[in-house]
């Protein structure tokens, strides 16, 4: 018989609260120095034994994250974790007009470029560009700035939602 474990993660805090109408776009977070050769990026989605992983690479830069929300079947146990995207710890630089290529174990992938604003309980994400993946790639065409690459992927073992720091140059 399969055991089912359910984990619920809530992020609650008042740090960084703002007045109504005040811009709450994060200004913190280290940036990975852009390389002059950066044009496009590769998003790799991996079905690891304990849950899905995502890695974003561009030039010599790379960031990796666990899913903030996922349901995953491992041998003998199924786990669901619900959370919220948080401010990225690092941003990978990509030139505007660069191509995002998706690779890895995912069966289906939905990707968007979103603005991140911390909320009172959960982050607010405003998708500014959906990236239709034709033949596994799409062109990033948003104004220069900091964004979240918002990803939802399905795998044979389950699914996962990811948020990776993207800096469009």
Judging by beta carbons within 10 Å of its beta carbon (0-12, 13-18, 19+), is residue 44 exposed, middle or buried? middle
**Mean pLDDT of successive 10-residue segments in the chain (169 residues)?**
36 32 38 53 96 95 95 93 89 95 97 86 84 93 95 98 95
Residue 147 contacts residue 125 (beta carbons within 8 Å): no
Which pTM value belongs to this model? 0.76
| Residue 156 structure tokens | 């044979």
What Cα–Cα distance (Å) separates residue 57 from each residue in 22, 125, 158? 33, 22, 24
With H, G, I as helix, E, B as strand and everything else as coil, classify residue 70.
strand
């Amino acid at each position: 018989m399969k055991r089912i474990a359910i984990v619920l993660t809530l992020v609650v805090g008042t740090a960084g609260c703002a007045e109504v109408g005040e811009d709450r776009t994060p200004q913190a977070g280290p940036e990975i120095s852009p390389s002059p050769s950066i044009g496009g990026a590769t998003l790799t989605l991996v079905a690891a034994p304990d849950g899905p992983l995502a890695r974003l690479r561009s030039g010599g830069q790379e960031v990796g994250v666990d899913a903030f929300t996922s349901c995953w079947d491992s041998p003998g146990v199924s786990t669901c974790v619900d959370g919220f995207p948080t401010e990225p710890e690092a941003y990978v630089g990509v030139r505007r007009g660069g191509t995002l290529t998706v690779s890895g174990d995912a069966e289906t992938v939905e990707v968007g470029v979103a603005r991140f604003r911390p909320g009172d309980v959960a982050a607010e994400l405003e998708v500014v560009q959906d990236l239709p993946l034709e033949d596994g790639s799409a062109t990033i065409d948003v104004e220069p700035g900091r964004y979240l690459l918002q990803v939802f992927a399905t795998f044979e073992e389950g699914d996962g939602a990811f948020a990776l720091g993207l800096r469009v140059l």
